[in-house]
Amino acid sequence: MKHDAYTPAANRGFTLIEIVITIVILGAVAGILVPFFNAIVHSPDPVIRERAISLGQAMMDEIMAKRWDENTPMGGGPICTGESPTLVARPKLIDPTCAITATLQPAPPPAHFIPEEATRQDYDDVDDYDGLSEPVAGKFYDQNGNPFTLPLGYTRTVSVRYISSNANPIDQNTTAASPGTTTDTKRVVVTITSPLGEVFNFVAVACNI
């Protein structure tokens, strides 16, 4: 039987040169398309971050506009605490009833600050915001009680703590203070989590002035 040395083109495979050229072309195309697709995927990121920052800053502005304590007089002015310079250094110059009528409001464990007001619209001092967490039933609220919605994944929480400056070192996370160990400052932390999983902490100090 006679064998034909000719192999039909349909039965031949790719040559090494053809494979190498194909890989080079695919690599060049991938180098162009991958950054393009990444840009599309992450294009909403700046908007998401800006929204998270606005959410945190709005809450911090609202809190810092409130009174330092439930006992702070209308129009402002310091109340007497166990560490107040006016109470310690100049006791004869203050109202003798001050230490009794104007004390901090420690709360029994596990709570620390207990809001005296029933609703957010009634919050009138910094303490009332401790433990606030949103969304509630899928909604966020402004200081007037108006609800608004955001895409899933945003959260907003508030933590208020005493700063015990009479401790050594200074304790910035004191959950309950009492006369004699109280301070004139509180740390306020507003924490925002974005749908990207990023956490933004807004920190401020409220002073008894």
Q: Which of 199, 204, 98 is nearest to 156 (CA)?
A: 199
Helices marked H in the chain — which ranges? 16-42, 45-64, 85-89, 98-101
pLDDT of residue 37: 61
pTM above 0.75, yes or no: no
Residue 76 falls inside a structural domain = yes
Residue 148 structural domain: 45-207
Q: Which two tokens stand for residue 41?
A: 């995927």
Residue 26 falls inside a structural domain = no
Residue 105 falls inside a structural domain = yes
| Count of domains for the chain | 1
Tens-level pLDDT at each residue, the chain (209 residues): 555 555 555 556 678 888 888 888 888 877 776 665 655 555 557 888 899 999 999 999 999 999 888 777 777 777 766 555 444 444 444 444 444 333 444 434 344 566 667 788 888 888 889 889 999 989 999 988 899 999 899 999 999 888 876 666 666 666 655 555 557 788 999 999 999 899 999 999 998 87
Residue 4 falls inside a structural domain = no
Residue 3 falls inside a structural domain = no
Residue 17 falls inside a structural domain = no
Q: For residues 117 and 114, give the distance between their C-alpha atoms in angstroms, rounded to a whole number.
A: 9
